[in-house]
């Protein structure tokens, strides 16, 4: 009574080094990025988004993409996808040793134009090129849909068709992003019902932002509906570009705490993630956004947080 069936295992996709750092004001030197990724590689995380092959004139933080990808100590148990917005980015990524890539679609026309300067359809065409080339090179592609639970410009949007397109084009997984964090459990459930009519659930992930504090409740809802892949960012790195000073990505530590508390396996060692989070926060000279990290660094009695 009162429970729904949760997945036994949830795969966490760690986006801190890319999505997190990309949205941090402080420029992080290459060796720090490498050390962060190396620490994360030891935590049991199986997917760590390493960097982005966008033009450095747009995203300065990711200008060192080559050095990062070639400099990290790649664990055999971890995959290191990188963002590739177009075919040039894809080719550069492959040259630098990328074995998995990701493309970013949007459920909102206005967001697409403002964010990547083209319509949703135009972006799909670019991605098709990337996915074709990736297929030839046997490189898996992950798709993202931004603004899945609402757009900062358009308000409510309809991500199901975009998700379907990405999946049909060949993305093995589609991550549905609540880009502004404005979604709640109700809109998450409604959105997933619509998307699940077009894309099989095992191919779906949720990428929740915690800007309005709703992320864990939204993730819980997604889990109750059968989603078993969750994106998160160590220490909750990455503020919200649409609400200055507000938080952005949900913290990996807080997600893992909830999942382990639910008896869901992740393979992740929470204590090691907290350490990686502390490391990057010291380097960024900012406090962590993770509540679990804030609580455990100062609590007097120590709780057993093991899986």
What ranges in 137-179 are assigned the alpha helix state H? 160-169
Question: Smallest distance from the beta carbon of 32 to other proteins, in angstroms?
Answer: 25
For other proteins, give the closer residue by CB, 175 or 221: 221
For other proteins, give the closer residue by CB, 211 or 233: 211
Angle between helices 252-261 and 270-284 (to 10 degrees): 160
**47 within 8 A of 68, measured Cβ to Cβ:** no
Q: Can you give the binding site for other proteins, defined by CB under 8 A?
A: 1-4, 152, 181, 183-187, 189-190, 210-214, 216-217, 219-221, 224-225, 240, 242-247, 251, 254, 257-258, 260-263, 290-292, 294-296, 298-301, 303-304
Question: Smallest distance from the beta carbon of 245 to other proteins, in angstroms?
Answer: 6
Question: Smallest distance from the beta carbon of 178 to other proteins, in angstroms?
Answer: 12
Question: Smallest distance from the beta carbon of 305 to other proteins, in angstroms?
Answer: 9
- Got the DSSP string for 10-76? -EEEE-IIIIIHHT-SS---HHHHHHHHHHHHTTT-SEE--EE-S-TTT-GGGTTHHHHHHHS---T
For other proteins, give the closer residue by CB, 136 or 304: 304
Sheet of 141-146, strands arranged across: 47-48, 11-14, 229-232, 204-208, 173-178, 141-146, 101-106, 82-83, 51-52
For other proteins, give the closer residue by CB, 52 or 290: 290
**12 within 8 A of 252, measured Cβ to Cβ:** yes
Shortest CA distance to 99 belongs to which of 122, 120, 82?
82
The two three-digit tokens of residue 39, written as one number: 């620490």
Return d(Cα 116, Cα 112) in angstroms, integer: 6
Q: Is 240 a catalytic residue?
A: yes
Question: Smallest distance from the beta carbon of 242 to other proteins, in angstroms?
Answer: 6
Catalytic site residue from 147, 171, 240, 281 = 240
For other proteins, give the closer residue by CB, 200 or 303: 303
Residues labelled as active-site residues: 240
């Amino acid at each position: 009574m009162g429970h729904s069936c949760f997945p036994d295992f949830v795969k966490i996709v760690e986006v801190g080094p890319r999505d997190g750092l990309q949205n941090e004001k402080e420029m992080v030197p290459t060796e720090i990025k490498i050390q962060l990724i190396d620490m994360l590689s030891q935590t049991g995380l199986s997917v760590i988004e390493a960097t982005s092959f966008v033009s450095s004139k747009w995203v300065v933080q990711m200008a060192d993409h080559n050095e990062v990808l070639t400099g990290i100590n790649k664990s055999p148990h971890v995959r290191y996808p990188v963002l590739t917005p177009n075919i040039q980015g894809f080719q550069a990524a492959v040259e630098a040793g990328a074995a998995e890539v990701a493309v970013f679609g949007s459920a909102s026309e206005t967001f697409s134009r403002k964010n990547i300067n083209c319509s949703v359809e135009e972006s799909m065409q670019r991605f098709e090129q990337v996915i074709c080339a990736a297929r030839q090179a046997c490189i898996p592609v992950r798709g993202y849909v931004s603004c899945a639970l609402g757009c900062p410009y358009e308000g409510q949007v309809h991500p199901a068709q975009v998700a379907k397109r990405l999946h049909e084009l060949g993305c093995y997984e589609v991550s549905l992003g609540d880009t502004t964090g404005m979604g709640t459990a109700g809109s998450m459930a409604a959105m997933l019902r619509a998307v699940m009519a077009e894309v099989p659930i095992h191919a779906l992930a949720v990428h929740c932002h915690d800007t309005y504090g709703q992320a864990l409740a939204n993730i819980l809802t997604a889990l109750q509906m059968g989603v078993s892949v969750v994106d998160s960012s160590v220490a909750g790195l990455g503020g919200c570009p649409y609400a200055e000073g507000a938080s952005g990505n949900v913290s990996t530590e807080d997600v893992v705490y909830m999942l382990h508390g639910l008896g869901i396996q992740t393979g992740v060692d929470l204590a090691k993630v907290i350490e990686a989070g502390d490391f990057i926060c010291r380097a960024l000279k900012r406090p962590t956004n993770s509540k679990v990290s804030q609580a455990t660094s100062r609590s007097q009695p120590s709780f057993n947080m093991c899986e």
